[in-house]
Amino acid sequence: MSRSRFLLIIAFLLLGNGLMAQGVTDDQVILGQSCALKGPAAALGEGMNGGLQLYFDAVNAKGGVKGRKIELKSVNDGYEPEKCEVATKMLIEKADAFALIGGVGTPTAKVALPIAAAAKVPFIAPLTGAEFLRNPHQATVLNMRASYYQEMERLAAMLVDEAGLKSIACFYQDDAYGEAGLAGIVKALEKRGLKLAATGTYKRNTIAIATGLDALAPAKPDAVVMVGAYKACAAFIKAAKARPETRDCVFCNISFVGTKALLAELGDAAQGCVVSQVVPFPWDRSVPIVAEYQDAMTQAGKSTEFDFVSLEGFMAGKLFCQLLERVEGSPTREAFLATAAATTELDLGGVKLSYGADDNQGMDQVYLTIFDDGKVLPLESGSTLARAAK
């Protein structure tokens, strides 16, 4: 064997091993997901996981992306940072994940991101609007959704500018997630010359809301903006509606709460509660991506299970596959991230995303919804709050 042929074979083997180590083969791309699949936040992890898998199943049924099928390996972290740290390392070091996608939560993202960044592994479409994933710019992070700052700005506009309310309190989870949301509403109120009337907290993965409610109720706020998960927020709203100081409050949640799960937990106490959203209304077939999602859900026998979280997962799956399709040559992590940074416009189907060299967030849209008569309905402005809250 000639020396040149020998070197060519070695180079080919090294390239093959490099791609294998990045979770890519000739016929497969491996993705990793650490999320809550059990515990009080399980509906969020199950929703993201289900939406992602739904899209990947549809793509794989058609032969995958450029002949490569997408395999999603998901690990339960219970929405606990310590478990997420272990799961993230395992997915990168043992499962050879090409990228991490659809992680759930701010405190978990806070421990997973440094691990992924050190390994130069793309960190795609986490279910969190935390600012540290956006500013300062993180080259390995690819956000899809709007930020918590943007959600809080929209809620403040609705409560203060449109509905004319002035006394706003905040009930939040006592961790990085809660602090991110708190910073967002403080910023939005300061813009309007206002300060929070009161605050109250609770511990993650519990429904121990009594102390937080006791701290907040004496202020008799007009509205309470909440930064938590569905079980704790439902417990708080039920308890607050039973107290004279907070009975007539407008209760607002941001998207991470888990809209469908919150509605189910609240039961009769749901009336008039507001939730900001970062994806379109899952029942609006006039939006092409929603129609595509609904058709896939129906084909999977889940026509009664439409919701915001699984739609977000579905959209995240499509985002990944569209970007992977655009990568020229054999996909590497570096090439994928470079492709994303150069993608000035990407249409998921009636929802357009754009990225840039210093912009790792694709969407800026925030939508409002309200619970009315046991249903989730779009909320166009604060002027409709009084009718729905009755």
- For residues 351 and 146, the answer to whether their CB atoms sit within 8 Å is no
Hunting for tokens 């509906």 — which residue is that?
Answer: 43
Q: Where are the domains of the chain?
A: 3-146+284-359, 148-277+368-389
Pairwise CA distance, residues 50 & 69, whole Å: 17
Q: Which distant-in-sequence residues (6+ apart) come within 8 Å of 226 by Cβ?
A: 170, 171, 172, 233, 236, 237, 251, 252, 253, 254, 257
3-state DSSP assignment of residue 301: coil
What are the angstrom distances between the C-alpha of 71 and each of 95, 126, 232?
11, 18, 33
Place of tokens 């016929």: 27
Alpha-carbon span 287 to 290, nearest angstrom = 5
Read off the pTM: 0.92
What's the pLDDT at 61? Answer: 97
Report the alpha-carbon angle 234-236-237, nearest 5. 65
Strand duo 28-35 + 141-142: pairing: unpaired
Per CATH, 3-146+284-359 and 148-277+368-389 having the same topology is answered: yes
Is the torsion defined by CA of 352, 182, 123, 356 positive or negative?
positive
Q: Which amino acid makes up residue 207?
A: I
Return the CATH superfamily for domain 148-277+368-389: Response regulator (3.40.50.2300)
Question: For the residues of 25-52, what is the DSSP string, one character each?
Answer: -SSEEEEEEEE-SSSTTHHHHHHHHHHH
**Residue listed under structure tokens 């199950």:** 46
User: Phi and psi (nearest 5°) for 369?
Assistant: -130, 160
Please name the amino acid found at residue 67: G
CATH for 3-146+284-359 (1.10.10.10, 1.20.120.430, 1.10.40.50, 3.40.50.2300): 3.40.50.2300
Contact 137, 360 (CB under 8 A): yes
Contact 121, 99 (CB under 8 A): yes
Q: How many CB atoms lie within 10 A of CB 124?
A: 27
DSSP output for 60-77: HHTT-BTTBEEEEEEEE-
- Give the chain's residues under pLDDT 50: 1, 3-19, 387-390
Residue 203, helix vs strand vs coil: coil
Question: Per the omega criterion (within 30 degrees of 0), is the bond before 136 cis?
Answer: yes
The DSSP output letter for 341 is: H
Closest CA to 229 of 34, 33, 47, 32: 47
Looking at the chain, how many residues does it have? Answer: 390
How many Å apart are CA 123 and CA 59, to the nearest integer? 21
Where on the phi/psi map is residue 99: left (φ > 0), alpha (ψ -120 to 50), or beta?
Answer: beta
- 252-268 residue pLDDT tens: 999 999 999 999 999 99
Task: Enter the DSSP assignment of 146.
Answer: P
- pLDDT value for 142: 98
d(CA 28, CA 77): 25
pLDDT confidence of residue 357: 86
Cβ pair 151, 363 in contact under 8 A:
no
In this structure, are residues 111 and 69 in contact, taking their beta carbons and an 8 Å threshold? no
Distance CA 173, CA 161 (A): 26
Q: Amino acid identity, residue 29?
A: V
